[in-house]
Amino acid sequence: MEENKLQSESNGTQEIENNPAPQQEVKVEAEQSAAQPTPKPTPKQRKPQKKSSLTFGKVFLASLLAVVAGSVVTVLFWIFLFSGISTIMAPEVKSVPEKAILHINLAESLVDAPSKNPMGTFDLMSMTQTSQLTIYDALRALESAAKDERIEGIYINMVGGGSADMTLLEELRAAIIQFKQSGKWVVAYNETYSQGVYYISSVADKVYMQPEGTFDWSGLEMSTIFFKGLFDKLGLKVDILRPTACKYKSAVEPYFLSEMSDENREQMQELADHMWGVIVDGVAESRGVSAEELNRLADELAVVLPSQALEHKLIDGVKYADQMEALFEEEYGIEEPEYISLGDYASSLITDPKRASAPKVAIVYANGDVIDGSGSDDNIYGYTLSQTLREVAEDDDIKSVVLRVNSPGGSALASDLIWREMENLKAKKPVIVSMGSYAASGGYYISAPADAIVADRSTLTGSIGVFGMMPSFGDALEDKLGITVDAVKTNANAGMGNGFEALSSTQYRAMMQGVDRVYERFTTLVAEGRNLTIERVLEIAEGRVWSGEQAQKIGLVDTCGGLTSALAIAIDKAELGDNYQVVEVVDEADGLMAMLNSLGVKARQAMTSRSELGELYNEYRRLEQMVGKEGIYTVCPYIFRF
């Protein structure tokens, strides 16, 4: 019995599953033991203990081997599973019909940069792939379509559920205008028109909508959610470290104010007016309706119904979707129209073999928050991007570089590391910055050394400022949960910033030295990079956010335009003429790491349901990131999306 007990306890389930022979032995011995009385043990009878120890060792090794083998099988299973999913979900390259209509439907989200994670757009919860189309691929497709004899024209019909930032819509719209220079037609049709969809559609030669659809023309609103009241109720305290000169640096305002400061209200009003101005100017030019009239229509909500849109010349007619095909036949002689989406057409394009050995113009992406260290997700890691820039600088085949910056900023330290590599890169070859939706704070820090900076009119940039935040939860834990913390210290300020106690006056002064130093360096680097006096930089800094159009007037940006304009400047500065090829430099996560990244992202999103929070989800994520920050940061708080 002693032997049986020892074997059973040491082996457990693994022995039953993997070692059937010992299991049978235990059973037989147990039956014999039940049939005969147990004799008094003798020294000779105790010798089988060696056999028991030997059996235990075998069982242990077998169990260990089973665990290792099981782990290997599990890892291989996930690798094959994700490889299979990646293969299944990979976009199919479709052929272009001989007479095709290019269909712009934004079924895919229009994004600034390709995802670094090949599984990043696969949602495990719904087992679906979210399609994405980069602005570079979209622009390249439209440029090619203008010369492609198979493409008859463009049909703008936003039936998809994709999304796009304002600046991406601005660049896409400009590319469609350029497409029209080829003499080909553009027609738009939608059941309903949001302001973003109409901004794109208004460029068409003819604009139609469904007879029972709706039309939104009401203007823009920019709002901020403030958390001070919540923090007061919870007993949370936040020490704000912001230089006095950075009065427009509003990223920290939601945590110590209940409404906008006068300075923040001023800059937000100007930004909203400029954003709306970009939309109104584009619509006015395309539709032949004055900006004053368009603003009057918005103020009076005079355009809600299709008949009102038709009356005020915002559309050319009302039709059902099936009637549009009859229009293609009547107007353009296309009897049975065949469509190809912008994304599918972009996927069908191949590189001209004649340019395979031509000098390269590289597009490097700086997309996302600026973060310390290295990483492979869709953010800007200081060490990772620095390494990429260093490799590009050492590549003799690359003659010129466009850094596409789409970032609200982040870590001041990581920004400085990237700035240094930008300086080294510029010493070897031309570097042009193309600003996306926002290139502010840390995003502007890394842009400042460039030979030239190109921004869209609606780009958010500047925000040359710095801040620090030190939240403390000690009082909240004690008052709400009854949790207290005690400690011993060797010195008065040991444990500073531990999250339990607010900063003392001595600690606050010490922290502010670092904040002030970063602001001084930031403004100095901008003055050097933009060839401005430090006095001028201090006037336009103060943490203030500017639109791309404003930034051009004050010297922070060289010209307004999109990625295409930046590439043209890069080609010109490298004196490449027509002999060049454009390559994208993308850091991708390695196989298994990419899968794990994807699992982490999707699991995190599942834990905090977007369906429950809706539009508040982004605010929740912003709050989570801000309260969790440590160190000194340069961040712009504004993000606009249609």
Q: How far apart are alpha carbons 507 and 375 in whole angstroms?
A: 32
- Residues counted in the chain: 642
Each residue of 30-62: b (16+ CB within 10 Å) or e? eeeeeeeeeeeeeeeeeeeeeebeebeeebeeb
Distance, CA of 595 to CA of 32 (rounded, Å): 55
d(CA 383, CA 371): 9
Residue 359 token pair: 């000098």
- C-beta of residue 165 within 8 angstroms of C-beta of residue 641: yes
Q: Angle 167-172-177 (CA atoms, 0-180°, nearest 5)?
A: 125
* 249 catalytic residue (yes or no): yes
DSSP assignment of 568-600, as one string?
HHHHHHTT-TT--EEEEE-----HHHHHHHHHH
The answer to whether residue 441 is catalytic is: yes
Radius of gyration from C-alpha coordinates of the chain:
32
Distance CA 438, CA 636 (A): 9
Task: Say how far apart CA 107 and CA 118 lie, in whole Å.
Answer: 19
Which token pair is 510? 């010490």
Q: Kindly report the backbone phi and psi dihedral angles of residue 414, in degrees, each rounded to the nearest multiple of 5, phi listed first.
A: -65, -40
What is the bridge-based pairing of β-strands 185-190 and 151-156? Answer: parallel
What are 302's two structure tokens?
A: 């005079």
> In which region does residue 110 sit, left (phi positive, over 0), alpha (psi from -120 to 50) or beta (all else)?
beta
Number of H helices, E strands in the chain: 24, 24
Residues sharing a CB contact under 8 Å with residue 31, sequence separation 6 or more, in sequence order: none
CA 315 to chain centre: 34
Where b means 16+ CB within 10 Å and e means fewer, 353-378 reads eeeeebbbbbbbbbbbbbbbeebbbb
H or E element at residue 230: helix 228-234
**CA-to-CA distance for 257 and 234, rounded, in angstroms?**
16
- Taking the C-alpha atoms of residue 205 and residue 186, their distance in angstroms, rounded to an integer, is 5
Residue 128's identity, in one-letter code, is: T
The string of DSSP letters for 424-490 reads: HHHTTS-EEEEEEEEEETHHHHTTTTSSEEEE-TT-EEE----EEEEEE-HHHIIIII--------S
Of the candidates 249, 360, 399, 429, the residue annotated as catalytic is 249
Residue 577: alpha-carbon gap to chain centroid: 34
Q: What is the biggest distance separating any 2 CA atoms in the chain, rounded to whole angstroms?
A: 110
**Spacing of C-alpha 61 from chain mean position:** 48
Query: Of 441, 447, 458, 472, which residue is the catalytic one?
Result: 441
Catalytic residues: 249, 441
